[in-house]
Amino acid sequence: MFQNVIVRKPARSLVEGITSAPELGRPDYDLAVKQHQAYREALAACGVKVRVLEPLEAYPDSCFVEDTAVLTRHCAIVSNPGAASRNGEAREMLPTLREFFPPERIESIQTPGTLEGGDVMMVGDHFYVGRSARTNEEGIRQFLAILNRYGLTGSEVPLEKVLHLKTGVNYIENDTLLVSGEFVDKPEFRRFRKIVVPPEEAYGANCIWVNDRVLVPLGYPTVEREVRKAGYEVLLTDTSEYRKLDGGLSCLSLRF
């Protein structure tokens, strides 16, 4: 069960954020602010304490806090983002991490290693790490070494098409995965019960489990129906403006 969640309000510079889908248009900042407020309310409804950080205008993508760190039950691992424009975001997260973790339990990924939290999926005490355009071999090597020091384990998952691991696969507890695209048949996930997301709803695969509830993006009816059928209470959350920046529900928070 999670006790805490860290989020950061979107900056006005959000509209200049990184995107691989310019055809979706620029985000509407005012709508993004309203969606973020609703997202925080949904998280609070799951019984967690939500720590809300102020916007960072210098970093357009800084509301996507998941990429700045991986938080485990034993330690915090500060990332080293693979996107150059985001390198300072991890440093900006450090003061907040110190509120929750003692200094000796805050680790970090060092250059030339790169790692972004969107490439890390926690399943109990095991962490799947996607090797992507943002997370490289050296970053994964360092990450796995840190996990091992704390009695945790991890394994690499090569990515073929998606930006981040959790773009296409997300764990919602109870040995259940939401999978889309290249993840449907990946051998690394053979043992799990799978909810297969159809191609036309691929974005909807990025759901998050928070204390027996699952936040599902609004507008993906197959995903919503299948998650409900699997026995979960669903909280629908609109992330249309964050989708324009390759962001989803998991990207917007650190949950621990």
Domains along the chain with CATH numbers: 4-255 (3.75.10.10)
pLDDT for 84 equals 85
pLDDT for 255 equals 98
pLDDT for 87 equals 87
Active site residue 63: no
One DSSP character per residue, the chain reads ---EEEEEPPPGGGGG---S-GGG----HHHHHHHHHHHHHHHHHTTPEEEEEPP-TT-TTTT-GGGGEEE-SS-EEE-B-SSGGGHHHHHHHHHHHTTTS-GGGEEE--TT--B-GGGEEEETTEEEEEE-SSS-HHHHHHHHHHHHHTT-EEEEEE-SS-SSHHHHEEE-STTEEEE-GGGTT-GGGTTSEEEEPPGGGGGGG--EEETTEEEEETT-HHHHHHHHHTT-EEEEE--HHHHTTT--TGGG-EE-
Active site residue 164: yes
pLDDT for 135 equals 97
pLDDT for 85 equals 87
pLDDT for 90 equals 95
Catalytic-role residue among 36, 46, 164, 207: 164
Catalytic-role residue among 46, 63, 75, 251: 251
Per-residue pLDDT of the chain (256 residues; tens, 9 = 90+): 999 999 999 999 999 999 989 999 999 999 999 999 999 999 999 999 999 999 999 999 999 999 999 999 999 999 999 988 898 999 999 999 999 999 999 999 999 999 999 999 999 999 999 999 999 999 999 999 999 999 999 999 999 988 899 999 999 999 999 999 999 999 999 999 999 999 999 999 999 999 999 999 999 999 999 999 999 999 999 999 999 999 999 999 999 9
pLDDT for 163 equals 86
pLDDT for 220 equals 98
The whole model's pTM is what?
Answer: 0.97
